[in-house]
């Protein structure tokens, strides 16, 4: 049996997750709210599984703590190459 091709949906998910990682590399550390606002500004649909893939499963993104914004505790994320080896 041959290899399965990546579906357009899977390609879209990977592209959006890569955009999130790239944005954090250029603009981080940043809160989840700031990240979602940047996605909205770029016209990228906010999809929870894409955020999860980029923020929690990427070896380059680490949770950097919490920040209080407007009475809400928001996660702060940062790009961190090579720290989790």
Show Cβ contacts of residue 14 under 8 Å, excluding neighbours closer than 6 positions.
6
Q: What is the per-residue pLDDT for 2? A: 55
Report the CATH number that the domain containing residue 52 is assigned in CATH: 1.10.10
Confidence category of residue 34, pLDDT binned at 50, 70, 90: very high
39 pLDDT higher than 90: yes
User: Could you tell me if residue 84 is inside a domain?
Assistant: no
User: Could you tell me if residue 37 is inside a domain?
Assistant: yes
Express each pLDDT in 1-30 by its tens digit: 556 788 999 999 999 999 999 999 999 899
The domain in which residue 23 lies consists of 9-79
Q: What is the torsion angle, in degrees rounded to the nearest 10, for the CA atoms of residue 63, residue 37, residue 68 and residue 70?
A: -170
- Report angle CA 54, 57, 59 to the nearest 5 degrees: 95
User: Could you tell me if residue 85 is inside a domain?
Assistant: no
Show Cβ contacts of residue 79 under 8 Å, excluding neighbours closer than 6 positions.
21, 24, 25, 28, 60, 61
User: Could you tell me if residue 46 is inside a domain?
Assistant: yes
User: Could you tell me if residue 64 is inside a domain?
Assistant: yes
State percent of the chain over pLDDT 90.
84
User: Could you tell me if residue 3 is inside a domain?
Assistant: no
Number of domain units in the chain: 1
């Amino acid at each position: 049996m041959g290899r399965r091709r990546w579906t357009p949906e899977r390609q879209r998910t990977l592209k959006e997750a890569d955009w999130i990682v790239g944005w954090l590399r250029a603009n981080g550390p940043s809160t989840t709210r700031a990240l979602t606002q940047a996605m909205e500004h770029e016209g990228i649909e906010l999809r929870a599984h894409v955020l999860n893939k980029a923020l929690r499963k990427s070896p380059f993104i680490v949770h950097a703590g919490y920040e209080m914004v407007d009475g809400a505790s928001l996660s702060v994320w940062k790009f961190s190459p090579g720290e989790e080896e």
